[in-house]
Amino acid sequence: MEYQKLTDQEVVARARKGAEAAYRELIGRYQRPVMSLIYRLVQDRELAEDLTQDTFVKVLNALDRYDPKQKFSSWIFRIAHNTAIDQLRKKTPDTLSLDGSPHATDADEVQSSCLTPVDTAPDPAEYTASREIGREIEAALALLRPEYRTAIILCHVEGRPYDEIAEIMELPLGTVKTFIHRARNELKKKLAHLRT
Amino acid sequence: MYHPATEEVEAYVAGSLSAADRATLESHLAGCPECTTEVEEWRALFAALAALPQIEPTPGFADRVMAQVRVIQPWHVRVAAMLRRFLPTTTKGWLLLSAILALPLVTLGGAVTWLASRPWLSLGDLWIYLGFRLEEFMAGVARQLAVLVLGNQTSISVLKGIHQTMTSIGAPGVGIAALVGAAVMTLSVWTLYQNLFRESTRGGSHATT
């Protein structure tokens, strides 16, 4: 079965008929976006993976209750956002690091807590520069309020429109626009030193 | 000198300005290096955000998720699984089931043979008698069903109509109707078999992520 060519709704319909391959297709499509969003909210790789796993288990076990009129992406991102926010209410987040957790006690732990970015620039010099900018942006993002972070990541990293972000975050459209505007301004101020 | 508000410049870079406002701002940008620099700053921020990498879970993630997921089973798969529990799995079991099911037929056959062997009853008489009783039984069942579904008065009219139709089309028509009925019945049984007893096609070549 060629699942790649099907829309999310069609894949969900097949999953609801009992096709395990359709479940795996949904995981394949959303594991990176969901993990990226959750990671940038909780800033702990291991915890982010656990929460991503929880999100998928919740979503896939509730497929029979999914309303096909709603976008599947909105539904899964909403569950991911709520799962991460619930976790943040329980625990103070660790400091973000692209080079592994600052609380790592040995080399293996440092390695296991490192980020695994999907894309890397081909040229080493470009890669180093983009890695440096990436580090600065990640650090600036980590200082934003979690709601601002979700809104800005969904808008700029995932390319979701404002109305879908409002649906995901269960907020009025105007509030989402305000969040994104404020988040951009805070990031611009925090990254001002890069331009000097 | 007039400068557009920073929100307006941000909206311009985000592409959310109206065509008229965009044109006004662009004509301003042509003569304002200060605002052009601000546009470049916003563009750099947008580009840096868009270039943020996505984070990949560790290998085997899909398997770990699927280990905790209960795949939905459609009703016909669940019914088939339930029925399969009652079906024998060995040749011996099938033989036993066949024998149990055949027992009434063997008994009936034995009774018919015994009756047919009596000198006071010929096989032809027995056939006519059984046919008569069967017809009476079927008519009784049909009447009861019709009354149950349609009510007393309507069922009488419907049954009369059926009887008249059967009389008018004659034996060949009834034969054709019986053949069509048999074909429909066979198709129904085949459909049930396909849905209830054929092995489910799930599993096999799943792409792991």
ipTM of the complex: 0.78
B36 touches chain A (CB under 8 A): no
Residues from chain A that touch B46, judged by Cβ atoms under 8 A, are 156
Whether residue B61 lies inside any domain: the answer is no
Mean pLDDT in residue range B171-199: 76
Residues of A in contact with B203 (CB under 8 A): 20
Side chain identity, residue B48: A
CB A41 within 8 A of CB A146: yes
Residue B85: its pLDDT value, please? 82
- Full residue range of the structural domain in which residue B39 is found: 6-51
The reply to whether B47 falls in a domain is yes
Instruction: Judge whether A184 and B10 are in contact, CB under 8 Å.
Output: yes
Least Cα separation, residue A55 to chain B (angstroms): 9
CA atoms of B61 and A128, how far apart (whole Å): 29
In angstroms, the CA B193 to CA B186 distance is: 10
CB atoms within 10 A of CB A150: 28
B85 occurs within a structural domain: no
How confident is the model at residue A136, as a pLDDT? 87
CA dist B96 → B84, B86, B100, B108 (Å) = 16, 13, 6, 19
pLDDT for the residue numbered A130? 63
CA B167, CA A141: separation in Å to the nearest integer?
Answer: 87
B 176-205 residues with CB < 8 A to A: 200, 202-203, 205
- Give domain status of residue B107, yes or no: no
Cβ-Cβ pairs closer than 8 A, A with B, add up to 139
Closest chain A CA to residue B203: A20
Q: Which residues of A touch B52 (CB under 8 A)?
A: 36, 134, 137-138, 153, 156-157
Q: How many helices (H) and strands (E) does chain B have?
A: 8, 0
φ, ψ at B36 (rounded to 5°):
-65, -40
Which tokens belong to B36? 């052009």
**pLDDT of B68 over the 80 cut:** yes
Mutate to test the interface with A, among B12, B58, B69 (most CBs of A within 10 A): B69
> For chain A, what is the mean pLDDT?
84
Hey, what's the torsion of the CAs at A108, A114, A116, A120, to 10 degrees? -110
CA atoms A83, A88, A90, A93: torsion sign: positive
Centre a 10 Å sphere on the Cβ of residue B59 and count the other Cβ atoms it contains.
10
SS3 of residue B169 by DSSP: helix
User: Cβ–Cβ of B62/A64 closer than 8 Å?
Assistant: no
Compare all CA atoms of chain B with the CA of A177 and give the residue at the minimum distance.
B11
> Distance between the two ends of chain A, CA-based, in angstroms?
54
* Nearest residue in chain A measured CA to CA from B43: A188
- Coil, strand or helix: which one is B56? coil
Q: Which residues contact A124 (CB under 8 A, 6 or more apart)?
A: none
Question: Which pLDDT score, from 0 to 100, does residue A124 have?
Answer: 52
Domain presence at residue B128:
no
Amino acid at site A35:
M
Q: Is B201 a domain residue?
A: no
What number is the average pLDDT over the span A18-35?
95
Inter-chain touch B69–A64, beta carbons under 8 Å: no
What is the per-residue pLDDT for A109?
A: 56
Tell me if B16 is assigned to some domain. yes
Instruction: Give the pLDDT mean for B20-30.
Output: 90
Q: Name the minimum distance, in Å, from the CA of B76 to any CA of chain A.
A: 10
Q: Which residue has the tokens 């056939």?
A: B127
Q: Looking at the 3D structure of chain B, how many domains does it have?
A: 1
- Interface check for B65 against chain A (CB to CB < 8 A): the answer is yes
pLDDT of B206 = 35
Does B122 map to a domain? no
> Is residue A117 helix, strand or coil?
strand
Burial B166-179 (b: 16+ CB within 10 A, else e): eeeeeeeeeeeeee
Q: How far apart are CA B26 and CA B13, in angstroms?
A: 11
Cβ distance of A18 and B7 shorter than 8 Å: no
pLDDT score at B83: 83
